[in-house]
Structure 1
């Protein structure tokens, strides 16, 4: 059922809409101009639409519009200049060097500019074939521009028809990834769980969650109507996003000692009931995602409150059998999990309400204590950034040099081979080369495998299908599938691209199967050149970049803890600063996890301190989960306890995290003792007194009492601060071992 629901949601996702938009954008110019006996100009216009489509990155209308307009004009200019230079091999090589370097450097300006650079390089590749004079080059570039204008108009019109569709798609993706995070959490409660594997999954999914959240901030929080709350739709979408981020923090706060829980309770079966409860909450979240995506209203399918109460009764029954001085801490943990589940259930209920823009909750004004504009990034585009990156210290500069030399080598090899489609080698090099060696290697593997499988599929289709009308239908289907999966599963996209190209050439030149061999050989040659260039030419090994990522996540967690700890030291919690710190933790966690994945795909000789770095990442993720627990506990008014004990341990934790950063920088520092401060031990003594008092109440048959609530809260606070102190000490110890 879960897989079926995900499939249905995928059919309404951005990948499908992008596939449909690109299919329309690419096929219509060729079809229309072919009707006027202008088949080749039609193909050229379709290529122009393809290039502008690459520059069509999700964002606000103004950013999309500006990106496509700039991309279209640059594509026109590149096509024109390349056409003029085709008459001179010397000029053409010079232009390839210039364009490859300049447009590869566009990555310093962010994802949108990077896509524009890729579009321009593809326009160059498409234009190197043949020899054209000035007028022919101008005509060719004009058709490229016409195709780009067509795609621009198509994209803008579709956006105007459904202005919130992209934001809804991004928001639905956020909710789905959060639901998947909850499912991974649920796996900790099944019998005989693989704890290490589940922890790795939690860290890995942070990458997807952060990417989706950043995209929604770009799509939603930069819209004036969303910030001002000027209409009910934009206001409700913003409220859903804010609530979903808070929900993720609430889910992260349920981090406990799962091994100890399983040792105590696995045989009782109670943990399986917790697992089922969490899965039901994840299902509710997926229902909300479906409602957001379809612009409909969602309603709870299950009464989560009743389910939580049912589990609570089971825990109470279990207490009568197993509660004693040895198990009281674990029973407090079980109760706290249910309390957290109730809070999550409340947020899910609010998310259901926010899908009804006419309801009171969705019409409430956006909180003025959180400055939404501070949560979005602002990209500068001045030339100073470009100039400052013209150094070998810049990874973008080294990558641009690699791409340039590899592209020139690829084009030189294609000229020496003197074949019909010499640009395929050049195209392969440009498409698969990435700044990191691991990413390039992954792309090479995916493109080679996809090309071979797609080539076999294409030959099979051409052998058994000869009717032109059926081939055209298959061609359209493969175009749609290729663009649908291009940003979702590159390997699968290549599987569809290859037969699409083969069928197209078969329609142009029936009976010629030589193109299959050429494409496979060119892909192998282009992949080989890209591999050698990435490995030999100023390679960007991830272990050389990891120190920055490690320091970032450490500083992010330190600032997150510092902001939250204010409330435990007698100071007010500043919501904007605390949420900005939380956002930075998510960003830093995703960055280091992604970098670690890339490092593990590199040669084993480059796996420097991989196990220690992974442990460091897991420790930091665990630390942020415990900090999130402190946020949740604020709702239970912890100020009733003596704050002096908290203040002392807070100072010690901040000192340990600062020491860890100093260790990573390989600077001298004095060691910090990790013993519990005397003031904090007084809280421990009070905890023991409350535990004895509570045991006496239980023996007397008293079920619920003020002592029980006070004990539960103090135990949670004490354990959380103690865990944070212990983890901070472990992080400091690991930082000494890493020495990146």
Structure 2
């Protein structure tokens, strides 16, 4: 328990490894304070709503394509304006306020079925509604004026972000693609360092650190580029960015295959000729430099001279020739080093395609770009399809929407009965804290409460010595900019400065300089309500969700290998396009499993007995995929019927074992014993005439790679068994009752 408290304390104080969003903070401060100053100076009746509309709409601007930003901000403006009108009308009739809150807040919380942007819009609409409930209008006309004021403030925020603070339409896409090459450069540098030490734990740490990160960069770039290209007639720059994105993905795959083959070499050795790893390390460093050149070329606007990299697999082939001439390497080592040289050469070819495309990026399209897969177009499905898909209590989105609706309604009822000062601060706290999952809700509650306490104390200190309204407005502009700028770093810091801003602004407007304790008390009440709603209303622990996510990742591993096996069965090289799609699906499934695991660790009631086996399962799910990526890089097909027969038997056994492992993880049972894989591939078996003898004789490198794949499966199998032994009996029962 003590360790869990320390872990939660670290999570509350943890800073994300990103820079503050300074420009976003300044824009939000301008969007908030210009309407406030103008409304106050002109004595406009809706000055507060002008500021609310400006701040909330600016808050929605998360970057991305120009079209996507306009759509998100405009949709939020309309939703918030409608919420202000309806909330003002409902607040005039206390008997209507309770059912209206339940329906409106639940409906907007359910907007998460349409994605993260819709979820943020829904939260803002619900928040605006409860503020309007707490500040009831004097009549229908006043409610309408509130809605129009929200639209006015929102329009100012949109003009500020999209016109006065202009952006280039393709700049977000270029930055996203450049970030992919930056991540590839980091991975190549990590490989260069690791290959010279070659400790197993270093390889493992590199995979865990880089693979998921690069896949996330690729998916962000894919989404951003698709949104940017949507509805645009110009094709030159969009197509070249697509080629660059595919080149970054291909370089990532090549580096995965290289890393897996390099690890199979074992520890470095010294001899009269030297270790060939030195040539590989130098080539990888040069590859990283080329990737950084690509970052510069993609981000900049003007034309540049094309860099001429000089790295490839030739230096390794020369070193390999010396070793071979002296008889210092075995047949298998020679095959491995030759394959590494091939992979380096192919990696250089992919880098050349990217460099050629990046140097032509700013200019007009004069020739067809290199071929690349088109981004998947969004299907024109019915707007109601996501709603129908989530109208079940098994849906996390529906459960969360009901939870938020009921808890917020309870907060509104408490405010209507006890009538606390600024009672809508209670409901805003509930809406802000409650997340679809228990762990993030608990963490956000801690950050919100602690940040409010610290911010309240700062507000008391400021109010005690600074009473000049002009100096106060200048200070509040700075704190408003700070609170938005610091959101990417830590939500608790955002809460500190948001509390200072809104408490002092409320005190400045009302003349009541005692609102800081009110804010703290109301936040404590709202936090308690949010946690109670999370724990007692349709809560499902991540402990029951995580096995399904992990099973999905294991099945994606199985599907990736099945694509290879299908090609082997017909004596054909692997289908590159199909395997790339399978590899992407696997990467996303693994990211989902790792995210679920992190949520599991953040849950306050999580038991720590099974952490190590779960971490091993996640890690070696990626290791299994890395070996499959290496196998997919082979350009030759199985040459003889005997080899194809051995591969077919191995593939059948592997397919059955991976499916059994995924099913065992999902249902909390013991996995079945593994088949004798070494006999199937003829690896270190006493009978050279067994079923895998042909594979060892004709394709020793392939045989070695299959042995590595078998080794990853054995680690997964052992970890699944240890996980079952480590879990308490109650958890066994819950896992077995999932279906």
Q: Same fold (TM over 0.5)?
A: yes
Report SS of the residue matched to 1:650: helix
Whether the 8 Å contact between 1:298 and 1:355 is mirrored in structure 2 is: no
Which position in structure 1 is the counterpart of 2:256?
252
Out of 151, 159, 166, the residue aligned to residue 172 of structure 2 is 166
Aligned-pair CA distance for 1:587: 0.8
Cα displacement string for residues 339-374 of structure 1 (whole angstroms, at most 9, x for unaligned residues) = 54454444344433332226999865356673x243
Deviations 1:312-360 (A, max 9, x none): 87888899999455xx756765665565445444434443333222699
Q: Could you say which residue in structure 1 is the equivalent of 2:694?
A: 682
1:32-86 CA-partner distances (Å, limit 9, x unpaired)? 4344333x62331121133334554656555544444433222222111110121
Deviates more, 1:457-466 or 1:209-218: 457-466
Quick one: distance in 2 between partners of 1:591 and 1:612? 18
Aligned to 2:487: 486
| Alignment-derived partner of residue 84 in structure 2 | 79
Write out per-residue CA displacement over residues 249-306 of structure 1, whole angstroms, 9 at most, x where no aligned residue: 1122234388876744499998788667646644543453344334355668895618
2:448 aligned partner: 447
2:351, 2:501 → 1: CA distance? 44
Structure 1 position 443, deviation (Å)? 1.4
Q: Residue 153 of structure 2 corresponds to which residue in structure 1?
A: 147
Alpha-carbon deviations, 1:205-262, whole Å to 9, x = none? 555444433332222235557998x533212211111111112111222343888767
- Give the Cα–Cα distance (whole angstroms) in 2 for the partners of residues 578 and 31 of structure 1: 58
Contact 2:507 2:514 in 1 (8 A): no
Partner of 2:589: 588
Name 1:632's counterpart in structure 2. Answer: 633
For 2:232 and 2:696, the matched residues in 1 are separated by: 46
CA displacement, residues 376-415 of structure 1 (integer Å, 9 cap, x when unaligned): 5548563454355343222222212221232233344445
Q: Tell whether the 8 Å contact from 2:261 to 2:340 is kept in structure 1 after alignment.
A: no
1:271/1:346 CA distance change after superposition, 3 Å = same
Contact in 2 for aligned 1:104/1:117 (Cα 8 Å): yes
| Distance in 1 of aligned mates of 2:412 and 2:306 | 59
Q: Do the aligned residues in 2 keep the contact of 1:300 with 1:349 (CA within 8 Å)?
A: no
- Structure 1 counterpart SS, 2:634: helix
Is residue 400 of structure 2 the alignment partner of residue 399 of structure 1? yes
1:725 corresponds, among 700, 703, 710, to 710
**CA contact under 8 A between 2:243 and 2:372: conserved in structure 1?**
no
Alignment of 1:207-356 (within 5 A): 207-222=212-227, 230-256=234-260, 263-265=267-269, 278=284, 281-282=287-288, 284-296=290-302, 303=309, 305=311, 323=328, 336-337=339-340, 339-356=342-359
Moved more, 529-538 or 421-430: 529-538
Distance 1:379 1:103, change over 3 A: farther
CA RMSD of aligned residues (A): 4.1
Contact 1:18/1:483 (CA < 8 Å) preserved in 2? yes
Asked if 1 retains the 8 angstrom alpha-carbon contact of 2:305 and 2:359, the reply is: no
Alignment partners' CA distance in 2, 1:502 and 1:359: 49
* 1:106 equivalent among 101, 108, 111: 111
**How far did 1:582 drift?**
1.7
| 1:97 and 2:91 are equivalent in the alignment | no
* Contact 2:183–2:214 (Cα < 8 Å) also in 1: yes
More deviation, 104-113/656-665: 656-665
**1:192–1:409 CA distance, 2 compared to 1 (3 A):** farther
Structure-2 residue corresponding to 1:618: 619
Q: 1:134 maps to which residue?
A: 140
Query: Is this contact kept in 1: 2:189–2:288, CA < 8 A?
Result: yes
Give the 3 Å change call, closer, same or farther, for CA 620–136 of structure 1 in structure 2. Answer: same
Inter-partner Cα distance in structure 2 for 1:291 and 1:305: 19
User: In the alignment, which residue of structure 1 is the partner of 2:543?
Assistant: 543
Report the Cα distance in structure 2 between the residues aligned to 1:151 and 1:434, rounded to whole angstroms: 27
State which drifts further: 603-612 or 75-84.
Answer: 603-612
**Is contact 1:353–1:362 with CA below 8 Å preserved after alignment?**
no
Q: Which residues in structure 2 correspond to 1:33-72 (within 5 Å)?
A: 33-38=39-44, 41-56=46-61, 62-72=67-77
State the match for 2:533 in structure 1. Answer: 533
> For residues 471 and 183 of structure 1, do their structure 2 counterparts lie closer, same or farther at Cα, with a shift above 3 Å needed?
farther
CA distance in 1 between partners of 2:289 and 2:416 (Å):
57
Give the 3 Å change call, closer, same or farther, for CA 650–235 of structure 1 in structure 2: same
| 205 and 118 in structure 1: CA distance in 2 versus 1, 3 angstrom threshold | farther
* In 2, Cα distance between equivalents of 1:523 and 1:574: 57
Once the two structures are overlaid, the 10-residue window that deviates more, 17-26 or 557-566, is 17-26
Match of 2:727 in 1: none
- Cα 1:665–1:598 change in 2 (3 A) is closer
Separation of aligned partners in 2, 1:276 and 1:460? 58
Aligned CA distance change for structure 1 residues 597 and 665 (closer, same or farther; 3 Å) = closer
What 5-or-longer segments of structure 2 have no aligned partner? 1-16, 681-689, 725-731
- Which stretch of structure 1 is more off in the superposition, 647-656 or 426-435? 647-656
> What are the superposed Cα offsets for residues 520-571 of structure 1, whole Å, 9 maximum, x if unpaired?
3333332232223222322221121123312321222222223344444423
Answer yes or no: is the 8 Å Cα contact 1:438–1:598 preserved in 2. yes
Partners of 1:646 and 1:627 in 2: how far apart? 14
| Secondary structure of residue in 1 paired with 2:494 | helix
2:368 pairs with one of 365, 373, 390: 365
In 2, Cα distance between the equivalents of 1:515 and 1:273?
Answer: 68
- Superposed CA deviations along residues 4-34 of structure 1, whole A, max 9, x for unmatched, are xxxxx977x9x45544543443333334434
CA distance in 2, matches of 1:313, 1:24: 63
What is the rounded CA distance, in whole Å, between the counterparts of 2:317 and 2:364 in structure 1?
29
Taking the aligned partners of 2:580 and 2:231, their CA distance within structure 1 comes to 19
The alpha-carbon deviation at position 657 of structure 1 amounts to 2.3
Give the TM-score of the pair, scaled to structure 2.
Answer: 0.80
| Aligned mates of 1:236, 1:647 — CA distance in 2 | 40
Report whether the alignment pairs 1:561 with 2:561.
Answer: yes
Give the Cα separation in 1 of the matches to 2:691 and 2:143.
80
Instruction: Please identify which structure carries the higher helix content.
Output: 1
- Structure 1 residues 494-509: aligned runs within 5 Å: 494-505=495-506, 507-508=508-509
Distance of 1:252 and 1:227 partners within structure 2: 35
| Contact 1:502–1:515 (CA under 8 A) maintained in structure 2 | yes
CA contact (8 A) 2:241 2:361 kept: no
Q: Give 1:125's match in structure 2, choosing from 118, 123, 130.
A: 130
Relative to structure 1, is the Cα distance of residues 149 and 286 closer, same or farther in structure 2, using a 3 angstrom cutoff?
Answer: same
Q: For the Cα contact (< 8 Å) 1:204–1:590, is it kept in 2? A: no
Retained in 1: the 8 A contact 2:242–2:372? no
Which range moved further: 661-670 or 451-460?
Answer: 661-670
- 1:423 Cα shift? 1.6
Q: Which runs of 5+ in 1 are unaligned?
A: 1-8, 687-713
Deviation sequence 1:107-126 (CA, Å, 0-9, x none): 12222221221121121133
TM superposition shift of 1:624: 1.1
CA gap of 1:153–1:10, structure 2 versus 1, over 3 A, is same
- Conservation of the 8 A alpha-carbon contact between 1:26 and 1:50: yes
> Quick check: 1:447–1:491 contact (8 Å CA) kept in 2?
yes
Aligned residues of 1:458 and 1:503 also touching (Cα < 8 A): yes
Residue 322 to residue 675, structure 1, CA distance change in 2 (3 Å): closer
